Amino acid sequence: MSEVLMIFVGGYILLSLILIPFQYRYVEQMEKMRKANEMKGISQGEMMENMKFEEQVLHANVQGSMLFILPNILATIIYKVKHRDRTAK
């Protein structure tokens, strides 16, 4: 039983590592959208309402899927670390 669990956990970690670049691009794009809309005075809720239906579905799947939790967290951490000095200025 523990071997099966180790295989499952190892597979999830491997999948997470493969998904990090995709999630990073997603986080980067959402941050660009947030900053652009912030300059226009549009709130995050309004930004989501202004998205096309397909974009809303993709966003909900990326944010809500249990499969993407670890890669999403890791990609967000990587993004914040890489852009830390830019936001501090």
pLDDT of residue 67: 83
Q: Please state whether the predicted TM-score (pTM) of the whole model is above 0.85.
A: no
Residues 11-40, mean pLDDT to the nearest whole number: 91
Going by C-alpha positions, the residue among 28, 21, 14, 12 that lies closest to residue 65 is: 12
Rounded to whole angstroms, the Cα distance separating 35 from 10 reads: 37
* List of residues 6+ apart from 50 with CB closer than 8 A: 42
pLDDT of residue 50: 84
Q: Summarize pLDDT for 28-69 with one digit per residue, the tens.
A: 998 898 888 888 888 878 888 888 888 888 888 877 788 888
Rounded to whole angstroms, the Cα distance separating 80 from 68 reads: 18
pLDDT of residue 77: 94
pLDDT of residue 48: 81
